[in-house]
A and B are shown apart, each in its own frame.
Chain A
Amino acid sequence: MLRFVFGRLVAVVPVLFVVSCVVFLILRLAPGDPAAVIAGSSATTADIEQIRAKLGLDRSLPVQFGIWLGQVLQGDLGYSYFLNKPVAELIAQRLEPTASLAIGTIVLAVLIAVPLGALAAWRMGGWIDRALSAVSVAGFSIPVFVTGYVLIYLFSIQLDWLPVQGYRPLGGKDGLSGWARHLILPWAALSIIYVALIARITRAAVSEALTEDYIRTARAKGVSEQAVLVRHALRNAAVPIVTVIGIGIALLIGGVVVTETVFAIPGLGSLTVDVVLNRDFPVIQGLVMFFAISYVLINLLVDLSYLVLDPRIRY
């Protein structure tokens, strides 16, 4: 198994290389010049050229990529053109809000969707099942910002129960309650999609598991329905459920970008939009590397979880 993990970690390298090449090419070949943005509106062409030279943007593309690669291999992700901070520090600073949002969403979605899906499968054709089928597809058919605005309108403006926007860090002076209060609406808006997705797969997987022979055996043995559902059906349905959770996490960043914008959460999502629009190349390259590594690690975790969930799987 260690060889498996090691092999996967080593496979990160070509992935990272491809990722950084693709993004590098798109950015440098695209129109848009960070030097011009930095120079501002009162500048002249000479000013812009000066800034370009200072940033090393006047060198050829392979040279620029080589320099950046060399830096990265030494552990230096570079310096933001605009924000005057090391890229690594920027990412570290904005990681907590995004992680809070993302992890909270997935946890919330799983806690709601898995029981819902299992119940729907257990009572196939019952009202939970039919309600779920009807509503779940709608869940991932609504754009996140619409859900977000509607939630803000209802709960913040009309009812005044929850704050409109912002993020309170966990270690900050508002403590756990401040952190949670500011994240409830964003979690709700984002998790609707994942509840729908996960509930659907759970229902499908559990209903399939329930048709297996071992379920009949368990019932015949006198095992309670609850134990049948949880200990037998759900456990055997775990693999496809965890798979879709893994896919969901990978898709999460798209929803996070929008949610962070609507709720003014200063995370990696809103950072992404800003730096791409400004052409802050070092930060974009750093972000892309970060996302790529996260993606690979999450996939690895999902695959490793199969070992725990399904003893038949061996690496």
Chain B
Amino acid sequence: MIRRAFLSGAIALGLLALSQPDASAQAENRIFRFVPHANLAVLDPIWTTAYVTRNHGYMVYDTLFSEDAQGNVKPQMVDTYSVSADKKTWRFTLRSGLEFHDGKPVTSADVVASLKRWASRDAMGGVLSDFIDRYQATDARTFEIVLKEPTGILIDALGKASSNVPFIMPERIANTPGTEQIKEAIGSGPFIFKADEFKPGAKAVYERNPRYQSRNEPSSSMAGGRKINFDRVEWVIIRDPQTQFNALKAGEVDMVEQPAFEQYYTLTKTAGLKVIDFSPAGLQFIMRFNHLHPPFNNPKVRQAAMLAMGQQAYIATQVGVPELGRVCRSMYPCGTTYADENTGDFTGTPNIARAKALLAEAGYKGEPVVLMRPTDLASIAKIPLVARQQLEAAGFKVDFQQMDWASLVARRAKKDLPSAGGWNLFLTAWTAGDISNPLTMAMLNAKGDKGWFGWQDEPRIEKLKGEFARADSVEVKKKIASQIQAIAFETATHAPLGQYRQPAAVRDIIDGVLETPGVPVFWNITKK
């Protein structure tokens, strides 16, 4: 009798526990829950180029300049700026009232230290450093950058959204060497990082910065005003794509940054959810050759491989949703400033006959080419399969090596012979923002041994890149960029394999997601 009563009491308690909803003191529409595409592990956006860390950076920090929806670089933290008549001294004045999260004002000293740290790590910052004579903090809100010779890339570099972004940090933090990670995340951005609530691998929490000084303009991509409609933003780390989908459907999260392509059609048809493309320029697949070793040390063989590629198949296999992909011949992604359809013989559709002819001319005797494939990176795991199929159709013999991503990045850094631990080919994907100009496109780093993986030695490209950095009008830059692309196709630096978009998924009640160069931004968004 007693036992039965105890049992029913226990069941009642259990049901009570089940029925209680998760208590929350704040109104639900003031909290935004976001599922990023990767785990936020590193908090230092200068130490790493990881996109998720860059996105975290835009929450916590602010930048001197930002790019608007038309591609113009506009001042953000900067109030006014001018350049001297000889174009060698740039003067900037910060807006008044800018503060870090610890209450201290943002000063020129902070800016200079932050820029120095950024330039020590970033590719474009590195190019810029060669032009810079010195930084000068003239007073608390004014600073100067004095150049050795004029350059047209200064403002672009300070306003770019591609990793690494020149975020402004307090001087004491920015004095950390670029090779070490910073220990605190203090910035002057629209959100404050709650370090005490940060659970790596599970959750990152940001609170609205009530002292954020937004610009008094409408938002336009990364530039303009930033209206924050949430008191709290949570980044919820969910690795499994199915669980991401389920969580979104159940309303446990509000936005999934990169749902798997396999779920695209379902997302468009599910009530209560919608698909949003906040990064229209998208991403691009590429195949990179190893220029050091046979057979790809012979430009004819590289061209043969390039001409054997058909972009449609890559999009169909890896992306799967036809309307999300597009054939784009240009190395600079279509829709970006320097995109150029003059691509020589390369059309993006396979030209097997010409490829075979080139191979015969080059004297290719069937030496196997080592093609590396990462098995654990779902976003690019399928494209090497297509590459193999297309290369074999052109007469190549492919030595297909499958490994996990960590092994691949280790192996691609090796300059050894492919048969002795090196490689001939690998494929990857870049966001459009990272390869939209010749200075940031890693594949155009043709400094030979000191260049990017693949180690092409092409002084003509390097010379033109220097001219690009010195040019000051967009027209001149476009001309030079096209020249560089022409040489890149002639020497087959790499093969562009198709452009695609990866839309985000949000709940119906979410509105106001801004279009940006790939950065999910949390201002302007409203939730009913």
How far, in angstroms, from A45 to B409 measured CA to CA in the complex? 10
Are A157 and B403 in contact, with the CB atoms below 8 A?
A: no
How far, in angstroms, from A93 to B195 measured CA to CA in the complex? 14
**Contacting residues, chain B, for A168 (C-beta < 8 A):** 22
Is A176 engaged at the interface, CB distance under 8 Å to the other chain? yes
How far, in angstroms, from A90 to B179 measured CA to CA in the complex? 22
Are A40 and B410 in contact, with the CB atoms below 8 A?
A: no
**Contacting residues, chain B, for A181 (C-beta < 8 A):** 17-18, 22
**Which A162-201 residues have a C-beta within 8 angstroms of B?**
162-168, 173-178, 180-181, 184
A-B contact count (CB 8 A): 147
B19 (CB) vs chain A CBs: closest residue: A177
Are A82 and B42 in contact, with the CB atoms below 8 A?
A: yes
Is A50 engaged at the interface, CB distance under 8 Å to the other chain? yes
How far, in angstroms, from A184 to B403 measured CA to CA in the complex? 36
Interface string of B339-367 (1 = CB under 8 A from A): 00000000000000000000000000000
Are A277 and B201 in contact, with the CB atoms below 8 A?
A: no
Is A261 engaged at the interface, CB distance under 8 Å to the other chain? yes
How far, in angstroms, from A266 to B237 measured CA to CA in the complex? 9
Among B49, B404, B434, contact of A32 (Cβ-Cβ < 8 Å)? B404
**Contacting residues, chain A, for B451 (C-beta < 8 A):** 44
Among B199, B252, B406, B430, contact of A165 (Cβ-Cβ < 8 Å)? B252
Among B48, B50, B243, contact of A264 (Cβ-Cβ < 8 Å)? B243
Among B183, B242, B413, B415, contact of A149 (Cβ-Cβ < 8 Å)? B242
Chain B interface size, under 10 / 10 to 19 / 20 to 34 / 35 or more = 35 or more
Are B237 and A264 in contact, with the CB atoms below 8 A?
A: yes
Is B145 engaged at the interface, CB distance under 8 Å to the other chain? no
A37 and B22 in contact, given A83-B42, A156-B250, A274-B39 (Cβ under 8 angstroms) = no
Is A215 engaged at the interface, CB distance under 8 Å to the other chain? no
**Contacting residues, chain A, for B181 (C-beta < 8 A):** 84
How far, in angstroms, from A271 to B201 measured CA to CA in the complex? 8
CB distance from A24 to the nearest CB of B (A): 16
How far, in angstroms, from A262 to B241 measured CA to CA in the complex? 9
CB distance from B333 to the nearest CB of A (A): 16
B449 (CB) vs chain A CBs: closest residue: A45
How far, in angstroms, from A46 to B447 measured CA to CA in the complex? 12
Are A32 and B410 in contact, with the CB atoms below 8 A?
A: yes
Are B200 and A85 in contact, with the CB atoms below 8 A?
A: yes
Q: Is the interface of B mostly helix, strand, loop or mixed?
A: loop
Is A36 engaged at the interface, CB distance under 8 Å to the other chain? yes
**Contacting residues, chain B, for A152 (C-beta < 8 A):** 243, 246
**Contacting residues, chain B, for A277 (C-beta < 8 A):** 376, 404-406
CB distance from A283 to the nearest CB of B (A): 11
**Contacting residues, chain A, for B48 (C-beta < 8 A):** 38, 40
Are B413 and A36 in contact, with the CB atoms below 8 A?
A: yes
Is A278 engaged at the interface, CB distance under 8 Å to the other chain? yes
Chain A interface size, under 10 / 10 to 19 / 20 to 34 / 35 or more = 35 or more
A182 (CB) vs chain B CBs: closest residue: B22
Are B407 and A31 in contact, with the CB atoms below 8 A?
A: yes
Among B404, B406, B413, contact of A48 (Cβ-Cβ < 8 Å)? B413
A42 and B179 in contact, given A164-B246, A262-B240, A279-B406 (Cβ under 8 angstroms) = no
**Which B437-460 residues have a C-beta within 8 angstroms of A?**
442, 445, 450-453
How far, in angstroms, from A48 to B239 measured CA to CA in the complex? 27
**Contacting residues, chain A, for B336 (C-beta < 8 A):** none
How far, in angstroms, from A93 to B201 measured CA to CA in the complex? 11
Is A94 engaged at the interface, CB distance under 8 Å to the other chain? yes
Interface string of B83-108 (1 = CB under 8 A from A): 00000000000000000000000000
The interface centre, meaning the residue of B43, B44, B252 with most chain A CB atoms within 10 A of its CB, is: B252
Are A278 and B406 in contact, with the CB atoms below 8 A?
A: yes
Are A90 and B410 in contact, with the CB atoms below 8 A?
A: no
Is B155 engaged at the interface, CB distance under 8 Å to the other chain? no
How far, in angstroms, from A294 to B21 measured CA to CA in the complex? 35
Is A54 engaged at the interface, CB distance under 8 Å to the other chain? yes
Among A36, A157, A160, A167, contact of B409 (Cβ-Cβ < 8 Å)? A36
Are A32 and B17 in contact, with the CB atoms below 8 A?
A: no
Are A44 and B450 in contact, with the CB atoms below 8 A?
A: yes
Are B406 and A83 in contact, with the CB atoms below 8 A?
A: no
Are A82 and B41 in contact, with the CB atoms below 8 A?
A: yes
A32 and B407 in contact, given A164-B246, A181-B18 (Cβ under 8 angstroms) = yes
**Which B104-119 residues have a C-beta within 8 angstroms of A?**
none
CB distance from A294 to the nearest CB of B (A): 20
Are A31 and B403 in contact, with the CB atoms below 8 A?
A: yes
Is A51 engaged at the interface, CB distance under 8 Å to the other chain? yes
**Contacting residues, chain A, for B237 (C-beta < 8 A):** 264, 266
Is A270 engaged at the interface, CB distance under 8 Å to the other chain? yes
The interface centre, meaning the residue of B43, B239, B403, B434 with most chain A CB atoms within 10 A of its CB, is: B239
**Which A55-106 residues have a C-beta within 8 angstroms of B?**
82-85, 90, 93-94
How far, in angstroms, from A39 to B409 measured CA to CA in the complex? 9
Are A84 and B42 in contact, with the CB atoms below 8 A?
A: yes
CB distance from A23 to the nearest CB of B (A): 16
**Contacting residues, chain B, for A93 (C-beta < 8 A):** 199-200
Is B236 engaged at the interface, CB distance under 8 Å to the other chain? yes
A34 and B252 in contact, given A44-B450, A174-B23, A177-B20 (Cβ under 8 angstroms) = no
Is B428 engaged at the interface, CB distance under 8 Å to the other chain? yes
The interface centre, meaning the residue of A38, A42, A50, A85 with most chain B CB atoms within 10 A of its CB, is: A42
**Contacting residues, chain B, for A175 (C-beta < 8 A):** 23
Are B250 and A157 in contact, with the CB atoms below 8 A?
A: yes
Interface string of A270-292 (1 = CB under 8 A from B): 11001001110000000000000
How far, in angstroms, from A61 to B413 measured CA to CA in the complex? 20
Is A41 engaged at the interface, CB distance under 8 Å to the other chain? yes
Are B18 and A41 in contact, with the CB atoms below 8 A?
A: no
Are B410 and A33 in contact, with the CB atoms below 8 A?
A: yes
Among B240, B243, B405, contact of A37 (Cβ-Cβ < 8 Å)? B405
Are A263 and B243 in contact, with the CB atoms below 8 A?
A: yes
CB distance from B456 to the nearest CB of A (A): 12
A149 (CB) vs chain B CBs: closest residue: B242
Could you list 20 A-B pairs, sorted by A, with CB under 8 Å?
A31-B411, A33-B406, A33-B410, A36-B410, A40-B48, A44-B453, A84-B42, A93-B200, A157-B246, A160-B250, A164-B246, A164-B250, A166-B252, A168-B22, A178-B22, A178-B23, A264-B238, A264-B240, A266-B202, A277-B404
Which A residues form the contact surface with B (CB < 8 A)? 30-34, 36-42, 44-46, 48, 50-51, 54, 82-85, 90, 93-94, 149, 152, 156-157, 160-168, 173-178, 180-181, 184, 261-264, 266, 270-271, 274, 277-279
Which B residues form the contact surface with A (CB < 8 A)? 17-18, 20, 22-25, 39, 41-44, 48-50, 123, 163, 179, 181, 183, 199-203, 236-240, 242-243, 246-247, 249-250, 252, 376, 403-407, 409-413, 415, 428, 430, 434, 442, 445, 450-453
- Beyond A40-B48, A82-B42: 9 further Cβ-contacts under 8 Å? A32-B403, A40-B50, A82-B41, A84-B181, A163-B250, A164-B246, A173-B24, A266-B201, A274-B201
